[in-house]
Structure formats: structure tokens, C-alpha cells
Amino acid sequence: MKAGIINVTGYAGSELARILYRHPEVEITSVTGRSAAGQKLGEVFPHLSALNLNITEELTGDVDVVFSALPHKASAEAVIPLLTQGIRVIDISADFRLKQADQYAEWYGVQHPDPSYLEDAVYGIPELHEKEISRAQLVANPGCYPTSAILAMAPAVKLGLVEPDIIIDSKSGVSGAGRGLSMSTHYSEVNENTMAYSLSGHRHLPEITQELSLLTEQTLELTFLTHLVPMTRGILSSCYSKLKAQATDTASTSVSHIREVYEEFYKAHPFVVITDTPPQTKQTLGNNQCLIYPTIDPRTNRLIVISCIDNLVKGAAGQAVQNMNLMYQLPEETALESLAVYP
């Protein structure tokens, strides 16, 4: 299978190249970049020298599947012509994640280039939409924060264990902000520093709301707050919600009950692991797992769920390859078998 990567020069794009290099069924035949067009991939990313590819401005040759790692809007514009040619696309940008074009306009500040694609696009979180993904032409790869938040809360919301009031407090490494230069990714500014940001509302909130709302009749009241912590990779989300009264009638057994519910929910999904001890972001470094630890604060009867992912793997490129595997009926774990790099 021939694969193309649009905008290989960002962190999601280069991570895709790193992962697909191991894929026995995929040959990367074309990679594009903007300012780096004309260079060899290994000049921009020495760790990818083995791929021996040239960065071009546009995709070249035939491709069966295309990953787009462009920023929003630019991605839709690049991807729509491919869709009309029948090429299957996994879009890592935000362009096809939201079902409502007005939400897109509200959060991204631009009109959607072609809202007609929003309905057919499948939100690519395999643990919730496996069947749709397997048939999709266009998969909208989830945001990094939403991946950690949705997987953490989906079982509790779906099974009606919690009240609609949910707080998601997420901590992310700096690579989530991408490879573009900015004061907030300048080493001396963010090193040895922790900060909250986007307090008036982060763009990943509507995705989380959309996906969790699909699982319940309740109208959710989500507060989602993002933080930057001084590390390169990793997201840890701490999720809080009151348990419903009926969910906790036998206090002494409720944690084990919650754990069972979670294990059952994800039993067919190899990349979600319900852990015995609180997980750490480093336990996911470089691999495609989402580690989830659900527990209960006994003093307030609140459900607390901790989830960890590598924002560039399960939060971006790894999940994209997982989606591709499903789209082509390949074993879901192909090219994603590596254990985390630790320490």
C-alpha cells in the first residue's frame, strides 16, 4: 500500500514517518512540506534518514492513502481534492472532527471550506467507532487532549455512572504545541515552568463534548482546562465527576465495580489499558497506549479518572496508523507494537 504524508515537517508528520517505517504493508512514497520542499527528509530530520525520501511541495505519484498533518483549514483544502479522486484520507487536523459547521466556525474562526464532508467523516477514535472507521473514506483523527479525555470518561458516561457535571484538568508536554516557533514554546520560557492556558476555552472542548454526548442522553456540563508542563511528550488528564447515587450503593466495593466496568468496556481494545496503579505519562513514551486508572474519592464520592497518552502517538500519529489499519482490515496493532521507552 502506498501512503503519502502531507506536511511531514511538523511533529505529527515526522512521527507518522517514524511509525510507518516499521509497517510491513505500507510504503511511504511521497511526503510534502512547505518551506522544506526540495530538501531530503533526512536533512530536516536526521533520525528519518533511513527513509531516503525527498520532500516535495505536492504529493507525487499514486497513493492509496494519505495522511494530512497540515494545520486546520489548509488541511481541508488539501484533502478535499484527494477525496474526490477516491483516495482514502486520515486527516490529523481539526477540519473534519466537528459535525456542526457552525461550531467549527465558532472555535476556529473561519468558515469551513466544505461542510458537506462533515457528515461522512468518521471521528477516528477506534475504541468508540471501530466499525465506521473500517468503512470510512475520510477519518478525522482526534485531537490529543480529546483522546485522553474521551477515553477516560466514555465508560462512566455511557453507563450512566456519573452526573453530567465533569471537570477535565489536562497537563500536556510542549510538543503538543507543534514545531512552529512561539514564545510559549521557547525553551527558557517553558522549562521549569507550569502554566494553565486557554482559560476562556480550548478548541478541543467541542470535540470532547460532541463525543461524550453521543454516549448519553444527559446534557453534559464540561469544564476543560489545559496546562503546559515542562516535558516534551505526554498528556495526563485528571477527570472529576460526582457518582450518581445508585452507582455507589455498596461503598466498599464501588472502586472494584468501577474498575470492572472499565475493563469490560475496553476488553476488545488492545491499546487501552486499565492500570492497577496510577499511570505516568512516561509509561506511554513512544507507544500507542492509553493508560486509564479509575478510582473514587471516598470523602466526596467523586469519580476520579487518570489517563495518560503520548500526545504524538495515541494522541496523533499512532492513532492515525491505528485508524489506517482498521480501514484496510489489517491487524490493529501493526507497526504499533513497540513498548514504551522507559526511563
Closest CA to 258 of 169, 168, 151, 155: 155
Query: Catalytic residue at 144?
Result: yes
Other CB atoms within a 10 A radius of the CB of residue 1 amount to 15
Q: What contacts 180, CB < 8 A, 6 or more positions away? A: 10
Catalytic site residue from 144, 239, 290, 308:
144
Residue nearer to its own copies on the CB measure, 36 or 121: 36
Residue nearer to its own copies on the CB measure, 11 or 117: 11
Peptide bond into 142 cis (omega under 30): no
Cα angle, residue 90 at apex, residues 138 and 50 outer, rounded to 5°: 155
Residue nearer to its own copies on the CB measure, 37 or 80: 37
Place of cell 501493526: 334
Residue nearer to its own copies on the CB measure, 152 or 327: 152
Cα–Cα distance measured from residue 104 to residue 125, given in angstroms and rounded to the nearest whole number:
19
Query: Based on the number of CB atoms within 10 Å of its own CB, is 42 exposed (0-12), middle (13-18) or buried (19 or more)?
Result: middle
| Min separation Cβ 42 and its own copies, Å | 9
Please say whether the beta carbons of 328 and 131 come within 8 A: no
| Min separation Cβ 120 and its own copies, Å | 28
Residue nearer to its own copies on the CB measure, 130 or 169: 169
Cα–Cα distance measured from residue 277 to residue 296, given in angstroms and rounded to the nearest whole number:
13
What the block records as the C-alpha cell of 27 is 510504503
Active site residues: 144
